[in-house]
A = this chain, B = another copy of it.
Amino acid sequence: MTTSATPTPGIPTPAADTNRLTITGAGLVGSLLALYLARRDYQVDVYERRPDPRRAGVDAGRSINLALSDRGWRALEGVGIAEAVREVAIPMYGRVMHDAHGNLSQQPYGQPGQGIFSVSRGGLNRRLLELAEAEAGVRLFFGQQCLDVNLRQQELHLRDIETGAEQHVGYQHLFGTDGAFSAVRGALQKTERFDYSQSYLEYGYKELTIAAAPDGGWVLEKHALHIWPRGSYMMIALPNLDGTFTCTLFFPFEGADSFASLQTPADVTEFFGRVFPDALPLMPELTDDFFHNPTSSLVTVKCFPWSLGDEALLLGDAAHAIVPFYGQGMNAGFEDCTVLDELMERHGADWQTVFREFQQLRKPNTDAVADLAVYNFVEMRDKVADPRFLLQKKIEGKISAQYPGQWTSLYSQVTFSHRPYAEAWANGQRQDAIMARLMKHIETEADYDRPEVQAMVEKELERAG
């Protein structure tokens, strides 16, 4: 086996016997991490439960997309594949809200030209795997279910999902990127004094489809994330390259309007006609999708520590699974790779130090983005339908334009910057307090230009330093 990477100057080259690194999970974070590790001249083995997604027939038929933003882009740039991904990503420059009468309103995400990008989860994963395997010599083992991780023996207990054959595979340094239900974390949970929480929302989600136009075009504004905010629930839609949109309905499991209450195709059609009237005609496969696609749950996982000596480290959802409402799950996982790479640059193969500093640096930030993501659900399903909220966002935009560098919205700090999430959130909370004081004096957009409001803004910004 060879790798195409050259050693980075100044970093101790790993000794032959510690040169092999093991990853569990070849999802988005696992496959990107494999690339990062291989490019530092490690030999990387990746074990993944699912079959190879590059094989025909796997994952076919469903188009699931994700919103990629600045933190994710930086991580892709770090291994030189951002440009290739950008070619198949669709920029979304703002939200388009659909009210119950089909009326639309808009809210830009940031400054003109700033956007988040709809990318295909499967496509991105396949591209990362191809690069890892072809360019960097990473060994990928698919269809290997991890039954157990023996931390003491440093051994994975694997089961081939096709043959049923079991094997034990030793590891020197293990990277657990095996997702929200991580087997590596499951093993760590049994060690002494491991803090752990998993917390579910009383909402589930289901993916649905808005069809392409007959000519293959998009039937809604292509460069936007669409939201149907309905107070206690919502639907969103992100564009795909083939003209379709993937919709996600976030909906209570139980109650009057809920997954439990929609039992027949007629129930579903009546409900969508009543609450999403402009979307219903665009969803010819609605009832098929509704009853065939799974209803998934929404979990937040927090834990600590993420590492065991120099032997094991959790990253991505395995360490910090979050709900999807800030579009930061993948981005936070990719940022893990950036931060780990910086620490490898600094400490070389001193894995104990790398792992310890990694968890110390990342834990407060992934805790913050977990809380932000839950918080943003309320904003998306409820507040964006409130004219006062939208007015406040416009006023914030004006402050931001008038005082460049002195006011960056919380959304922009999270989405369009690399500021640590915890700092972003603390700033956002200070800004919220300022806006609450300011909005008492503002009824219309024009009020922003009134001298007393201008004076207040100036004073608040001075005080905020």
Interface string of A241-258 (1 = CB under 8 A from B): 000000000000100000
Interface string of A199-220 (1 = CB under 8 A from B): 1100000000000000000000
Contacts of A192 in B (CB 8 A): 297
| Pick from B193, B196, B197, B200: contact of A193, CB under 8 Å | B200
Closest Cβ neighbor of A195 among chain B residues: B199
In the complex, A379 Cα to B383 Cα: how many Å? Answer: 42
Q: Does A19 contact B (CB under 8 A)?
A: no
Q: Does A198 contact B (CB under 8 A)?
A: yes
Residues of A within 8 Å of B, CB-based: how many? 13
Contact call A197/B200, Cβ cutoff below 8 A: no
Q: Does A403 contact B (CB under 8 A)?
A: no
Contacts of A195 in B (CB 8 A): 198-200
Contact call B199/A297, Cβ cutoff below 8 A: no
Q: Does A194 contact B (CB under 8 A)?
A: yes
In the complex, A189 Cα to B195 Cα: how many Å? Answer: 15
Closest Cβ neighbor of A192 among chain B residues: B297
Number of copies: 2
Q: How far is the CB of A76 from chain B (nearest CB, A)?
A: 33
Q: How far is the CB of A8 from chain B (nearest CB, A)?
A: 34
Contacts of A199 in B (CB 8 A): 195, 197
Q: How far is the CB of A110 from chain B (nearest CB, A)?
A: 35
17 contacts between A and B (CB under 8 A): A189-B198, A192-B297, A193-B200, A193-B253, A193-B297, A193-B299, A194-B198, A194-B200, A195-B198, A195-B199, A195-B200, A196-B196, A196-B197, A196-B198, A197-B197, A197-B198, A197-B199
Q: How far is the CB of A3 from chain B (nearest CB, A)?
A: 38
Interface string of A173-197 (1 = CB under 8 A from B): 0000000000000000100111111
Q: Apart from A189-B198, A193-B297, list 15 A-B contacts with CB within 8 A.
A: A192-B297, A193-B200, A193-B253, A193-B299, A194-B198, A194-B200, A195-B198, A195-B199, A195-B200, A196-B196, A196-B197, A196-B198, A197-B197, A197-B198, A197-B199
Interface-central residue, A193, A198, A299, by most chain B CB under 10 Å: A193
Task: Rank and list the top 6 A-B pairs by shortest CB-CB distance, nearest first.
Answer: A197-B197, A193-B200, A196-B198, A193-B297, A195-B199, A195-B200
Contacts of A198 in B (CB 8 A): 189, 194-197
Q: How far is the CB of A74 from chain B (nearest CB, A)?
A: 33
In the complex, A297 Cα to B193 Cα: how many Å? Answer: 7
Contacts of A200 in B (CB 8 A): 193-195
Q: How far is the CB of A149 from chain B (nearest CB, A)?
A: 16
In the complex, A193 Cα to B180 Cα: how many Å? Answer: 13
Contacts of A299 in B (CB 8 A): 193
Q: How far is the CB of A419 from chain B (nearest CB, A)?
A: 29
In the complex, A199 Cα to B198 Cα: how many Å? Answer: 12
Contacts of A196 in B (CB 8 A): 196-198
Q: How far is the CB of A187 from chain B (nearest CB, A)?
A: 13
In the complex, A196 Cα to B200 Cα: how many Å? Answer: 9
In the complex, A189 Cα to B186 Cα: how many Å? Answer: 11
Q: How far is the CB of A12 from chain B (nearest CB, A)?
A: 29
In the complex, A30 Cα to B365 Cα: how many Å? Answer: 42
In the complex, A200 Cα to B193 Cα: how many Å? Answer: 6
In the complex, A196 Cα to B297 Cα: how many Å? Answer: 15
